[in-house]
């Protein structure tokens, strides 16, 4: 699978840009702050219906504009698809495949799998459990629509249940309604737990292999799924937490409390890992995600590498580039600040690439 061409209209700092892409490697070079990352985010947006970086769609609309639009031609398994996404301030987002609008945005997710590796991924290590649950949801949703539907349903029921707990004393029939919400929460919560557990168990050996190749070190790294449902029946947990939920006015147990322990030599990597080890950990994790999705869907995802070579030594950069330029990887997008260095690295490993210069809010082919 690869993107043949892409058009950006009023997307972030770009007024209107159309570029023809290489099916293998596309590198975007320029100074910091010129919009290289925005180019990669446009690709991610078309695949996942949202920005990788901003929670609100409004931040994707160019300042001073009332709308933005993205369009790209995808080649997948010998078929050409045109994907169009548009957002007008105050209106519902539009998403079309071959000029036909999707009934639901979620129907699109996973059709064109994508993996982003970015400096912002450090939040997986440094921030709270929300970030790691988002990671689980983003990965599993790309190959399992049932999981995505369960997450959407679970969150909808959870909001309703928490609202009821907050207004319990003044809501007629609150006890009966709470029981209904609880019974609805259980089956989708159990399915989410089981699929997260299965995913992490299958991902772990792939992750360890990538880490070993990149680092050439012997650290014992690991991923441990942390869930209140481990070895427990969700219905019993909710029953036991009934009084606590009423007192806290929120649902105190469930898969919305899940986490992943990111480990090195049995300890949290956040506490003992160097900056280089943490960065290698995250790159290996994302490459393992790429490999896993490819195996499950039998589609090679698009790989987006946003400024990941910063603070890596030249040997480790070459290790990563050698891996991703191989036949097991497909189309790759890379950002970098040094055009000459990128050209030298790419010429050493592949003869198929394009380099684009990003400057003055425009994108132009360099080579």
Q: Sketch the domain layout of the chain as residue ranges.
A: 1-113+300-367
Mean pLDDT of 199-214: 94
Q: Output DSSP code: residue 61.
A: B
Look at 346 and 313; give whichever has higher pLDDT: 346
Decide if pLDDT at 176 tops 70. Answer: yes
* All residues at 6 or more sequence positions from 267 whose CB lies less than 8 Å from its CB, including other chains: none
Q: What pLDDT, on the 0 to 100 scale, is given for residue 192?
A: 98
What is the secondary structure of 246-310 as a DSSP string? HHHTS--SSGGG-EEEEEETTEEHHHH--HHHHHHHHHHHHHHHHHHHHHHHSS--EEEEESTTT
Terminal Cα-to-Cα distance of the chain (whole angstroms): 23
Using CB atoms within 10 A of its CB, is residue 80 exposed (0-12), middle (13-18) or buried (19+)? exposed
Q: CATH assignment of 1-113+300-367?
A: 3.40.50.300
Q: What pLDDT, on the 0 to 100 scale, is given for residue 74?
A: 97
For residue range 8-41, what is the model confidence (pLDDT) as tens digits?
999 999 999 999 999 999 999 999 889 999 999 9
C-alpha span between 314 and 99 (Å, rounded): 45
Q: What pLDDT, on the 0 to 100 scale, is given for residue 311?
A: 66
pLDDT above 90 covers what percent of the chain? Answer: 78
Cβ 28 vs Cβ 36: under 8 Å: yes
For residue range 238-256, what is the model confidence (pLDDT) as tens digits?
999 999 999 999 999 999 9
197 pLDDT tier (thresholds 50, 70, 90)? very high
Instruction: Please name the residue that has the structure tokens 């596309």.
Output: 26
């Amino acid at each position: 699978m690869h993107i043949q061409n892409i058009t950006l209209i009023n997307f972030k700092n770009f007024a209107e840009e159309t570029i023809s892409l290489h099916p293998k490697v596309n590198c975007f070079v320029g100074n910091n702050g010129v919009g290289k990352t925005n180019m990669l985010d446009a690709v991610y947006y078309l695949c996942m219906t949202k920005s990788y970086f901003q929670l609100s769609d409004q931040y994707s609309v160019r300042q001073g504009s009332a709308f933005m639009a993205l369009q790209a031609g995808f080649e997948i398994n010998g078929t050409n698809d045109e994907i169009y996404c548009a957002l007008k301030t105050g209106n519902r987002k539009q998403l079309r495949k071959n000029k036909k609008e999707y009934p639901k945005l979620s129907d699109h997710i996973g059709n064109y799998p994508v993996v982003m590796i970015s400096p912002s991924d450090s939040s997986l290590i440094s921030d709270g459990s929300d970030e790691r649950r988002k990671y689980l949801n983003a990965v599993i949703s790309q190959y399992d629509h049932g999981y995505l539907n369960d997450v959407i349903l679970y969150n909808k029921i959870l909001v309703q249940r928490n609202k009821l707990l907050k207004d319990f004393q003044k809501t007629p029939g609150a006890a009966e309604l709470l029981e209904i919400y609880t019974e609805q929460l259980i089956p989708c919560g159990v399915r989410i737990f089981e699929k997260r557990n299965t995913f992490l168990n299958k991902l772990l050996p792939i992750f360890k292999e990538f880490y070993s190749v990149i680092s050439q070190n012997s650290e014992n790294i690991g991923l441990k799924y942390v869930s209140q449902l481990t070895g427990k029946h969700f219905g019993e947990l909710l029953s036991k937490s009934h009084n606590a939920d009423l007192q806290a006015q929120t649902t105190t147990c469930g898969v919305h409390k899940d986490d992943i322990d990111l480990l090195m030599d049995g300890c949290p990597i956040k506490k003992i890992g160097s900056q280089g080890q943490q960065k290698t950990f995250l790159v290996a994790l994302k490459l393992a995600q790429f490999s896993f999705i490819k195996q499950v869907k039998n589609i090679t995802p698009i790989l987006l590498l946003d400024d990941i070579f910063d603070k890596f030594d030249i040997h480790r950069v070459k290790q990563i580039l050698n891996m991703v330029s191989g036949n097991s990887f497909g189309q790759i997008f890379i950002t970098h600040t040094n055009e000459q260095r990128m050209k030298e690295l790419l010429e050493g490993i592949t003869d198929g690439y394009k380099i684009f210069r990003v400057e003055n809010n425009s994108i132009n082919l360099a080579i």
